[in-house]
């Protein structure tokens, strides 16, 4: 196994876009390592449409969107290894991986791009009483069973959590003939996109119960019923609100966790809010030459934004390898989220290293109506944009102008806030 300039860990939408961008930026020695049997990642099982509106200005299914980037990677002649698991990334960017053909092997990379995506939060993290019967699936597992393997998990369905995959599976299971009785969400707001609530629940008359959760699961061998209760502001069940639903399937859509075991073992500094790496304006982690993008960095709402972010990561990885990366100026501006802004990506920037204006992405911790997204340079408010509604399920962004930042050589802090009208 030869060494490569850039090793990209993950062959999903982030990895494909990063590889293509790095190749176009001048790096000829690139390897994509993918643990699944084909490129495309999670998009292969997302057969619904709604992808590509930003990137390609047309509506595509997940497999169609992925194929656009797979075709580009193949046309550019980028190397890739399938059915290959990365076991370790050392701080010196030595990548240890293994597969059936080559056994265990190591690659010395000059740069690494982390594109491992995210995984679903399991039942074990929820502390729901009851046995562990058959019939409980994560929404993503059910999606794979229905769309790729051709199996129906069940016919009477209850869904816990209103993440986008859960909402989409409510519609999918209905279209396949199942009865989806209810979607319960412990928070007072949905965790999914507004369009998915409308298209997947409202259009099919599937009830969404906010501030509700499953408090009991019946069945020893196979699930028979669940009990759902309303919760108070402390998220504890309110006595007297319990309702029993018979079902043979419980789908869990209770959050996504970035896949960062490799990142942590490599010594990458992590953000406790996003569970992803802390990155700078180049999407570079605390280890020089190790970049991160897509859902391994922070959970995105649209794959179009994953591809856009990954393109920048790939370009910056190529610049690092080719010695074209801008030298640090010594000015470090830290970005903060306050008053409803949970986090920002990136976390800190050096204005002189920006190749263009900077898109800062963030999520909020509650629903805000007729409020403002405000940007402060130190104590000076430089941006005050009114938004009709801001919700946790949808990623927000602001664009910082490079010229404005360069005019402020003494600037050390930028703060993003949600302010009431």
What residue has token string 């700078």? 280
Question: What is the CA 231 to chain-centroid distance, rounded?
Answer: 27
Residue-level pLDDT at 17: 98
Assign residue 72 a region: left if phi > 0, alpha if psi is -120 to 50, beta otherwise? alpha
Length of the chain: 421
- Residues 248/154, Cβ–Cβ less than 8 Å: yes
Backbone angles phi, psi at 200, to 5 degrees: -100, -25
Residue range 190-199: mean pLDDT, rounded: 91
R_g (Cα) of the chain, nearest Å: 22
In 3-state terms, what secondary structure has residue 89? strand
- Residues 228/247, Cβ–Cβ less than 8 Å: no
> Would you list the DSSP string of 325-380?
SPPP-S--EEEEEETTEEEEESSEE-GGG-SS-EEEEEEESS-EEEEEEEEEETTE
Question: What is the CA 305 to chain-centroid distance, rounded?
Answer: 10
Q: Which of 205, 152, 155 is nearest to 183 (CA)?
A: 205
> pLDDT, tens digit, for every residue of 16-44?
999 999 999 999 999 999 999 999 999 99
> pLDDT, tens digit, for every residue of 201-255?
999 999 999 999 999 999 999 999 999 999 999 989 999 999 999 999 999 999 8
Question: Cα separation of 344 and 342, whole Å?
Answer: 7
Residue range 368-379: mean pLDDT, rounded: 94
Question: Cα separation of 282 and 305, whole Å?
Answer: 16
Confidence band (pLDDT; 50, 70, 90) for 132?
A: confident
Q: Given the DSSP bridges, would you call strands 358-364 and 341-345 parallel, antiparallel or unpaired?
A: antiparallel
Looking at the DSSP bridge assignments, the partners of residue 341 are 364
On the question of pLDDT at 81 being above 70, the answer is yes
Structural tokens at position 223: 């699930």
Burial class (CB in 10 A: 0-12, 13-18, 19+), 48: middle
- The CA dihedral of 414, 415, 420, 421, to the nearest 10 degrees, is 0
In 3-state terms, what secondary structure has residue 311? helix
Assign residue 223 a region: left if phi > 0, alpha if psi is -120 to 50, beta otherwise? beta
Q: Which of 374, 365, 194, 350 is nearest to 283 (CA)?
A: 350
Backbone angles phi, psi at 381, to 5 degrees: -85, 120
Q: Which of 111, 85, 109 is nearest to 99 (CA)?
A: 85
Residue range 367-383: mean pLDDT, rounded: 94
User: Mean pLDDT over all residues of the chain?
Assistant: 94
Structural tokens at position 269: 């500094």
Least confident segment among 16-20, 78-82, 122-126, 130-134? 122-126
Confidence band (pLDDT; 50, 70, 90) for 86?
A: very high
On the question of pLDDT at 166 being above 70, the answer is yes
Question: Cα separation of 360 and 342, whole Å?
Answer: 13
- Residues 170/206, Cβ–Cβ less than 8 Å: yes
On the question of pLDDT at 391 being above 70, the answer is yes
Question: Cα separation of 130 and 326, whole Å?
Answer: 57
Alpha-carbon torsion (56, 317, 301, 256), positive or negative = positive
Question: Cα separation of 414 and 402, whole Å?
Answer: 13
Residue range 300-327: mean pLDDT, rounded: 95
Residue range 50-57: mean pLDDT, rounded: 92
Residue range 344-354: mean pLDDT, rounded: 95
Residue-level pLDDT at 290: 98
On the question of pLDDT at 125 being above 70, the answer is no
Confidence band (pLDDT; 50, 70, 90) for 348?
A: very high
What residue has token string 């030595």? 94
Give all strands of the β-sheet with 348-349 in edge-to-edge order. 348-349, 333-338, 413-420, 368-377, 380-390
Question: Cα separation of 251 and 269, whole Å?
Answer: 33
- Residues 382/360, Cβ–Cβ less than 8 Å: no
- Residues 54/302, Cβ–Cβ less than 8 Å: yes
Residue-level pLDDT at 126: 74
- For 170-289, list the strands marked E by DSSP: 179-185, 208-210, 212-218, 225-230, 243-246, 249-252, 256-258
13-24 and 303-321 helices, crossing angle to 10°? 40
Residue range 125-152: mean pLDDT, rounded: 91
Question: Cα separation of 62 and 51, whole Å?
Answer: 6
């Amino acid at each position: 196994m030869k060494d490569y300039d850039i090793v990209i860990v993950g062959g999903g939408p982030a990895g494909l876009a990063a590889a293509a961008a790095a190749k176009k930026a001048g790096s000829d020695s690139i390897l994509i390592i993918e643990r699944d049997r084909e490129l495309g990642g999670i998009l292969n099982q997302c057969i619904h449409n709604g992808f590509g509106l930003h990137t390609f200005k047309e509506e595509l299914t997940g497999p169609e969107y992925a194929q656009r980037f797979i075709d580009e990677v193949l046309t550019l002649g980028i190397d890739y290894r399938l059915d290959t698991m990365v076991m370790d990334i050392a701080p010196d960017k030595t990548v240890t991986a293994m597969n059936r053909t080559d056994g265990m092997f190591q690659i010395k990379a000059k740069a690494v791009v982390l594109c491992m995506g995210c995984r679903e939060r399991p039942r074990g993290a929820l502390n729901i009483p009851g046995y562990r019967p058959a019939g409980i699936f994560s929404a993503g597992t059910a999606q794979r069973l229905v769309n790729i393997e051709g199996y129906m998990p069940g016919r009477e369905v209850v869904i816990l959590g209103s993440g986008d995959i859960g909402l989409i599976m409510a519609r999918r299971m209905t279209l396949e003939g199942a009865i989806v009785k209810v979607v319960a969400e412990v928070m007072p707001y949905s965790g999914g996109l507004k369009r998915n609530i409308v298209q997947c629940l409202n259009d099919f008359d599937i009830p969404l119960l906010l501030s509700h959760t499953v408090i009991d699961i019946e069945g020893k061998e196979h699930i028979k019923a669940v009990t759902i209760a309303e919760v108070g502001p402390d998220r504890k069940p309110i006595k007297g609100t319990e309702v029993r639903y018979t079902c043979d399937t419980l789908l869990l859509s209770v959050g996504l966790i970035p896949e960062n075991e490799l990142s942590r073992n490599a010594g990458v500094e992590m953000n406790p809010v996003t569970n992803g790496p802390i990155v700078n304006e180049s999407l570079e982690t605390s280890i020089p030459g190790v970049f991160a993008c897509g859902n391994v960095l922070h959970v995105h709402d649209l794959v179009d934004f994953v591809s856009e972010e990954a393109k920048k990561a790939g370009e910056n990885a190529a610049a690092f390898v080719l010695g074209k990366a801008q030298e640090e100026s010594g000015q470090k501006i830290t970005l903060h989220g306050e008053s409803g802004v949970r986090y920002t990506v990136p976390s800190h920037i050096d204005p002189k290293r920006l190749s263009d204006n900077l898109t800062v992405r963030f999520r909020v911790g509650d629903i805000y109506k007729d409020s403002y997204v405000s940007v402060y340079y130190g104590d000076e408010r430089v941006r005050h944009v009114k938004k009709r509604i801001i919700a946790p399920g949808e990623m927000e962004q602001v664009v910082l102008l490079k010229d404005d930042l360069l005019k402020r050589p003494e600037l050390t802090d930028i703060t993003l806030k949600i302010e009431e009208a």
